[in-house]
A and B are shown apart, each in its own frame.
Chain A
Amino acid sequence: MHDSGKWDWETGKKEVSDIGKWMEEFEWIEEPYVSPDGEKVASVVRTGDEMEFTACVNGTAWENTFDKVWYLRFTPDNRLTGLVSDMGEWTVAVDDQVWENRFEFVWNSMFGKDGRNIAIAAQKERKYLAAVNDTAWEHGFENMTNLTVSPDGERTAGVIQTVGFGETEFLKFQEGCYSVAVDGKAWGRNFVNVWELAFSPDNRHVAAEVRTNLYDYTIAVDGIPWKEMFASVWKPQFSPQDESVTAPVKIGGSWTLAQDGKPIWGKKFIQVWHHMYSPDGKKLAAVVAPEFGRWTIAVDYNAWELTFGDLVTDAVFSPDGNSVACVGKEDDKWMVAVNGTAWDGKFDMAWQPVFSPDSIRVAAKVEKNGLYTILADGQPLGKESEAAWDPVFSPDGKKLLIRSIREGKYFREVIPLT
């Protein structure tokens, strides 16, 4: 995460841009995106009658125009990126500066935690590869999926196809034609399938969900599969404490967590996924189903009593690792829950809760009847708005940055918390 201590935490409410007025200048305005610090709001716009597109930031269009712009995203350090095309070639624009590399297509921009590094998936001459900060992998592959960046954003990994085969060559497929490339270098071993990848916190290792034949699933770490095979697995994670790897695995009819191939949780859950470590690595939590059709959070194998019938998602640990918050849904209404207790209020949508740096407070964005509200510890903060972005706590946890659109104007507002 970028150092938010350098952001403006003194100015209260500030109108950053009157988006309604953009319409006087541009015929075509797409949905807005807002920078993490709240100082910038941007949209893809069409600059005139010609089919020329660009990004508009706080009412000012970039100088460069393109045949197409999509996937506007702000980096954690508040730079605006867009995937742009001109004359049939694709590349990346960052704050109106265009990368030199050109590709036949680019997609899926991703960033390291501090935002310095920007990665994309790309295709050139029917070869698939990744590029970081305008430097592409030396070699491309027949296909690449599941682009994943390391925490520092310096390294990239993807699931690659290493062996070509015709679509009906089912036996060749079953011999194993997929692997993982890290920074463009393939692991020395193929698998029948490889799915989600995870980098270690120190950026040095990669773990992957793999299938070694049509029936045996396991986790491979830096190309070496666990000896143990399972009926299925989900995405692995590295421990922040050591180099061990954990993953949800299916054994018989139930799911558990395995560490380096060995089950470390019991068998009482019939689903376990989205597991995560506390920042200090001492605790493990996951979204679990303790019974068919009921969902909750388990921390170190202890499930909350509170369960939801539709789903549980967006779980997050507090910085101190002592709390977990999530979003749950019951009878098509969305709720926010912290440590096994649901906040009052049921909504049409709820977003991932945000903990304060001191782990004391929790805030979340919710929507009801098309209007957005920020909740702080379950209570509404500020007015409803037409659009809003996730709240951000100040480094001392005493203020909350609210980014929202009201009556067509985008506001940045810092609210002291009592």
Chain B
Amino acid sequence: MAEPALKTGEIFDEGLDKGIAKLTPEKIEQVVSSVLANETGARLRVYTDTCVHCGLCSEACHFYLSNDNNPAFSPAGKVKQTLWEILKKKGRVSPEFIKHAAEIAYTECNLCRRCSMYCPFGIDIAYLMLVIRRICHKLGVTPQYIQTTAHSHAATLNQMWVKDDEWIDTLMWQEEEAQDEISDLRIPLEKEGADVFYSVIGPEPKFRAQLIYQAAVIMNGAGVDWTMPATPGWDNSDMCMYTGDNEVMGRLKRAHFEAAMRLKVKRIVMGECGHAFRSVYDMGNRWLTWKMPPIPVIHALEFYHDIFKEGKIKIARKYDQPVTLHDPCNVVRGRGLHEMSRYVVNQTCEKLIEMEPNREHNFCCSAGGGVINCGPPFKNKRVEGNRTKAEQLFVAKAKGAKTVIAPCHNCHGGLEDIIHHYGLNMELKFLGDIIYECMEK
């Protein structure tokens, strides 16, 4: 493959700049050695030894494609500029190098794993970027905005600094609001022995409380015996997984699963979030030694699919605007829910216009992997780094799609920015929005 090209334009980020100001070469070498020796093993060695630097991963990456095939943005190029260099120099790299590596790992890779499907060996390049993030976390070099989110997780066990009373009060408020529409509706708090524990991500009570309202209407309509906890552990999200603070990641997942275990529920149903699914189904649980989630976790897409299959929800009228469907990486490449989401879309919408490529080959929204959480300093790079997605959306729009269904919070945020930036003028909805709007109540 070609040598990575240079990128221009330095971005100021207080977390990165103040982070490297405290570094010394000795500290970097010590942390790198410690992470490599104690926290990686055969997996890292196999990946780094197997890669033949063929560059076939390049075409998989929206950053690469959107930046005019600049090799610096190719997956292998990102590894070359970060991990390979660190390995080659045995950790003897400069603070400036670490800043550059952090910027690549945190803001130019969504950990979407599309490149793994294009790699002849299936190398999990996202894992390699996570190793870099882990090193950067241990060095204290993380983008400011995502680091403050990690602090919120650590202090409150939720992503948005939501205080204990604010959480409960929001649920009661949404219950009251919903009772204006459905008088006997409940959001049952702390109901031990319920079938379902419904969990959401921090932004729902903070900014999108109507999603809790809608979920309550859907649960109520489907006759589900459900509950929500009145304690920390309600938030299934996890930016610590993405900063590299694995210890707090584990703490968050433990609180989440133990809240469900305390309430003696049979399963956890989680809202439309992709990264949280990755955290509860793959990374957080396994850091704690749970090979699989100790309480089964059902993503909203699977839950919706099941209640439609079982006839628990009836549609009063289908959504009549043509829609296109975004496939969130973490529940499609990570869990294979793409046919389930299509089943629900076809149950609820008159016309689905597919984006191409789709399903497990779909392009990431460019918000995932914590990239959107790195905040305003990196917004332009993120949005311009996904012209590919805008083109996908544009083609779907040209075929008649007026609404984009994005069943994931971060995808929602990322696509909102893309739609606005590229002037696509398409409506954006969660699948729950559509179900709520179209169901018999």
Contact = CB atoms under 8 A, between A and B. Distances in A.
Interface of A: 28, 30-31, 68, 70-71, 104-105, 107-108, 121, 123, 128, 143, 145, 161, 167-171, 173-174, 178, 192-193, 195, 211, 214-215, 217, 231-232, 250, 252-253, 270-271, 273, 289, 292-293, 295, 309-311, 313, 329, 332, 348-349, 351, 367, 387
Nearest to A31: B191
Nearest to A211: B154
B164 A311 contact: no
B148 A145 contact: no
B289 A105 contact: no
Contacts of B138: 215
A167 B261 contact: no
B55 interface: no
A104 B172 CA distance: 14
B251 A310 contact: no
Interface in B188-236: 188-191, 193, 230-232
B288 A271 contact: yes
Contacts of B251: 195, 232
B289 A349 contact: no
Given A121-B164, A173-B148, A193 B155 contact: yes
B169 A170 contact: no
B140 interface: yes
Contacts of A329: 294
Interface in B234-274: 245, 247, 250-251, 254, 261, 264, 266
Contacts of B294: 310-311, 329
Contacts of B426: none
Given A108-B231, A252-B38, A348-B266, A171 B193 contact: no
A231 B168 CA distance: 33
Contact of A28 (B152, B164, B184, B295): B184
A143 B289 CA distance: 32
Contacts of B292: 293, 310
A70 B187 CA distance: 11
Contacts of B172: 68, 70
Nearest to A309: B291
Interface string B294-306: 1110000000000
Contacts of B53: none
A292 B289 contact: yes
A214, A232, A351: most-surrounded residue (chain B CB, <10 A): A214
Contacts of B190: 71
Contact of A293 (B147, B161, B291): B291
Given A30-B186, A121-B165, A145-B164, 8 more contacts: A31-B191, A71-B190, A170-B144, A173-B148, A178-B155, A214-B245, A311-B295, A349-B266
B261 A107 contact: no
A71 B230 contact: yes
B310 to A, nearest CB: 16
A298 B169 CA distance: 41
B166 to A, nearest CB: 9
B15 interface: yes
B392 to A, nearest CB: 33
14 contacts: A71-B230, A105-B168, A105-B169, A121-B165, A143-B155, A145-B164, A170-B14, A173-B148, A232-B247, A250-B247, A289-B289, A293-B292, A295-B289, A349-B266
Given A214-B140, A293-B290, A167 B164 contact: no
A246 to B, nearest CB: 19
A45 B230 CA distance: 20
Contacts of A171: 18
A161 B164 CA distance: 13
B296 A332 contact: yes
Interface in B139-166: 140, 144-145, 147-148, 151-152, 154-156, 161, 163-165
Given A68-B172, A108-B230, A193-B154, A367 B193 contact: yes
B151 A170 contact: yes
A54 B296 CA distance: 35
B164 A270 contact: no
Nearest to A166: B148
Given A214-B245, A215-B138, A167 B148 contact: yes
A309 B285 CA distance: 13
Contacts of B289: 270-271, 289, 292-293, 295
B196 to A, nearest CB: 13
A329 B294 CA distance: 8
Contacts of B168: 105, 107
A332 B266 CA distance: 9
A66 to B, nearest CB: 13
A170 B266 contact: no
Contact of A217 (B144, B247, B264, B290): B247
By CB atoms of chain B within 10 A, which of A128, A231, A271 has the most?
Answer: A271
Given A289-B289, A348-B266, A70 B189 contact: yes
A246 B351 CA distance: 61
B145 A168 contact: yes
Contacts of A170: 14-15, 144, 147-148, 151
B204 to A, nearest CB: 18
Contact of A311 (B154, B231, B261): B261
A332 B296 CA distance: 8
B422 to A, nearest CB: 28
Contacts of A192: 154
A387 B264 CA distance: 13
A215 B264 CA distance: 33
A292 B286 CA distance: 8
Nearest to B194: A31
Given A329-B294, A349-B193, A105 B165 contact: yes
A195 B144 CA distance: 23
Nearest to A232: B247
Contacts of A174: 151
A197 to B, nearest CB: 14
Contacts of B169: 105
Contact of A123 (B137, B151, B165): B165
B188 to A, nearest CB: 7
Nearest to A68: B172
Contacts of A231: 247
A178 B154 CA distance: 11
Nearest to A169: B148
Nearest to A313: B261
A173 B266 contact: no
